[in-house]
Structures are given as structure tokens and as C-alpha cells.
Amino acid sequence: MRGCAATFLVHAGIQTLIDDQHAIAHNKVMVIDSATIITGSFNFTKAAEEKNAENMLVMKDAPELVKAYEANIHAHAGHSHPYGQQASASSAALPAAQGSGNGAIHGKKNSKIYHLPGCPGYTGMNAASVVTFSTEAEAQRVGYRKAKNCP
């Protein structure tokens, strides 16, 4: 998908997840530093900025609302997959920014358990169920936990 926003983000080194569990994922939400929420109809495109009738709401100092939005984002991230990795894809189809095995952390999509390189089970995972992370903190932010047999 040359020229799409997801390709742009992946090439910029930004983890990009695709939620294909719904007919349309039409949310436009940003939670910045667990403190500021930006939402509305605004599509973050040139047309939205210059031609369309759009709206944007910026909310600050609403910690309970931030928690609710973050929980929703994490719930959808939990059943999403990295851009470029479809359910039937092999590990070779992982985008370069995701790193398929060079020190990347591998999570199992359904069990929400991750493995570090060198841990039992790291290399034997079904490529269709692998979600990769750059750090343990990243895996934990989206609800994954470390495998018990992984030191």
C-alpha cells in the first residue's frame, strides 16, 4: 500500500498496529503523555486542515478520562497486529521497523504472553500469532506479560 499513512509511520520507525477485528475502526484519538486527549472528526490530512468542516477537542486535567481512553486503546491494540503482518503472513513479512528476530521481543497474540530472545518458546512460535515489540515496557503497555519460563 504505497503512500498510505501506515506505511509512512512504519518507515518513520513508529509502531503501527492494524485492528481488523471490526468493519470500521473510525476512532481519531491521541493520548499524549497520559495527560492530554485529542479527539474529534479531524483526520490529520491537508484536506481536513484546509477544506473540510472538521472538529477537534483537546482535553487536559482529566485523569479518569485519560485512563478510560488509554484502556480502550490498549484493548484494541491487544487484538491488533503490526502493519504488514496479516494473519496468514510468515515472519518474513514483518516490516523492518518491527524486527522479526534480531533481539525483538515476541508476543503470542491470543495468550498475551511474550518471550525474550533466548527464552524457551521464542523460536518455535507460529508466525501468524507473533506480535513483536522493541521493549518489555512496550509489550506490558498493551497488556502482555512475560512467559514464566523466561528469566
- For residue 3, the model assigns a pLDDT of 55
Instruction: Give rounded-to-5 percent helix, strand, coil for the chain.
Output: 30, 20, 50
- For residue 50, the model assigns a pLDDT of 93
Side-chain-side CA neighbours of residue 46 (13 Å): 1
- For residue 61, the model assigns a pLDDT of 94
Task: Say which CATH topology domain 22-78 has.
Answer: Endonuclease; Chain A (3.30.870)
Its pTM stands at 0.52
Query: How is the chain split into domains, by residue range?
Result: 22-78, 91-146
Residue 85 makes CB contacts below 8 A (sequence gap 6+) with 93, 94, 95, 98, 130, 131
Give me the residues paired with residue 59 across strands.
37
- For residue 10, the model assigns a pLDDT of 77
Residues 43, 9, 131, 122, Cα dihedral to 10°: -170
- For residue 98, the model assigns a pLDDT of 35
* Residue position matching grid coordinates 515489540: 133
- For residue 34, the model assigns a pLDDT of 92
Residues 133, 93, 109, 100, Cα dihedral to 10°: -30
Angle, alpha carbons 73-137-75 (nearest 5°): 20
Q: Mind listing the pLDDT tens digit of every residue in the chain (151 residues)?
A: 455 777 778 778 887 888 877 777 778 899 999 999 999 999 888 898 899 999 999 999 999 999 999 988 888 888 887 876 544 333 333 333 333 334 588 888 888 999 888 888 887 777 778 888 888 888 888 889 999 988 7
